[in-house]
Structure 1
Amino acid sequence: MEKDFIEANRYYDAQKRVKEIRGFYEHLTVYVLCNPIVIVVNYMTSPGYLWWIWSVMGWGMAIILHGLKVFSLPPFFNKKWEEKKIREILEKENQQRLESNHGNKFE
């Protein structure tokens, strides 16, 4: 029974990971398809000021950050960091609960 639970958990984690990767590729596709339109609109409406550069750069940074997160490339805020932070929070809550219960017993 425990083996089934572990397999179901692994399947759920893999499914979640695939959704994250798919979300990144969808984001990248929208970026690639929309930016030529933005560039054309800029040249048609105000060719004297090339504001499309800001759009491409800003959105490009978001794409890069999204990709780094999805593919666990940054040294910060990755799965290990998340698990460590979760453990820290749970330990802190347990400690507070123990201190709270300990104080109530002697009153």
Structure 2
Amino acid sequence: MQREYTQEQKYILARKRVERISKFYKHLAIYLAVNTFLSAIFIVGDMNDGDTFNQAFFNYHNYKIWFYWGIGIAFQAINTFGINLFFNKDWEKRKVQQYLDEQNDNL
């Protein structure tokens, strides 16, 4: 059973969706800016402690915040765009066609 919405209700729903998408992109921009800044500080701090640039740059401890905050970003993306962002109907059709093509090639 599908509900019928008035024009005003459709507008409100569309506006809320746009606001959620806007918040996601702002959060993503903050994520990139803050983590880049923090990683730079961590690298410089390691270099001041006697590490070479390469040692400091490739030290995974300097990037842990990217991973943990990234998990939050991933959940927000799924909440904002839905799981269909990755596995939509078009993707399903392409995969089915790919497997059919592979089966035909093997015959």
Partners in 1 of 2:43 and 2:74 — Cα distance?
A: 26
> Secondary structure of the equivalent of 2:63?
helix
Question: In the alignment, is residue 73 of structure 1 matched against residue 47 of structure 2?
Answer: no
Deviation track 1:35-64 (CA, whole Å, cap 9, x = no partner) reads 111111111223566533210100111111
Deviation track 1:50-95 (CA, whole Å, cap 9, x = no partner) reads 5332101001111111101100117xxxxxxxxxxxxxxxxxxxxx
Partners in 2 of 1:8 and 1:60 — Cα distance?
A: 36
Q: Which amino acid aligns with 1:25?
A: Y
* TM score, norm. by length of structure 2: 0.58
Higher relative contact order (CA 8 A, sep 6+): 2
Q: Percent identity, aligned pairs only?
A: 23
Aligned partner of 1:19 in structure 2 is: 19
Instruction: Identify unmatched segments of 5+ residues in structure 2.
Output: 52-58, 85-107
Aligned partner of 2:73 in structure 1 is: 63
Aligned partner of 1:42 in structure 2 is: 42
* Aligned structure 1 segments of 4 or more residues deviating by more than 3 angstroms: 46-50
Shift of 1:29: 0.7
Moved more, 62-71 or 41-50: 41-50
8 Å CA contact 1:39–1:52 kept in 2: the answer is yes
Q: Which amino acid aligns with 1:67?
A: A
Question: In the alignment, is residue 32 of structure 1 matched against residue 29 of structure 2?
Answer: no
Q: Which amino acid aligns with 2:71?
A: M
Q: Which amino acid aligns with 2:10?
A: R
